[in-house]
Amino acid sequence: MAPWWVINSTLGYDVTQAFHVNLIVNNVFDKQPPFPALAGAQGNFTLATTQYFPGIIGRTYMLEASMHF
């Protein structure tokens, strides 16, 4: 099976000293796994897509905010 690489990225910003936001993008280039990878696990071996499910569904976004008191 061919190698499958995905790029993830996080951009963070300190709004104030107590308030922080992050934008997280998984699978930035929307790279799809190679065809046989979606067939599932065989025997006692687990394929890469089973270990990294977000890569299968394509590019995803998450916004995170934190406040420190």
Nearest residue to 9 (alpha-carbon basis) of 29, 38, 31: 29
Please give the pLDDT value at position 5.
83
Please give the pLDDT value at position 31.
85
Pairing of strands 9-14, 60-67: unpaired
- The rounded mean pLDDT for the chain is 80
Q: What is the mean pLDDT of residues 10-35?
A: 92
With the C-alpha atoms ordered 48, 50, 51, 53, is the resulting torsion angle positive or negative? positive
Statement: residue 41 has pLDDT above 70 = no
- Per-residue confidence at 22, pLDDT binned at 50, 70, 90? very high
pTM of the full predicted structure?
A: 0.69
Residues in CB range of 13: below 8 A, 6 or more apart: 20, 21, 22
- Per-residue confidence at 67, pLDDT binned at 50, 70, 90? very high
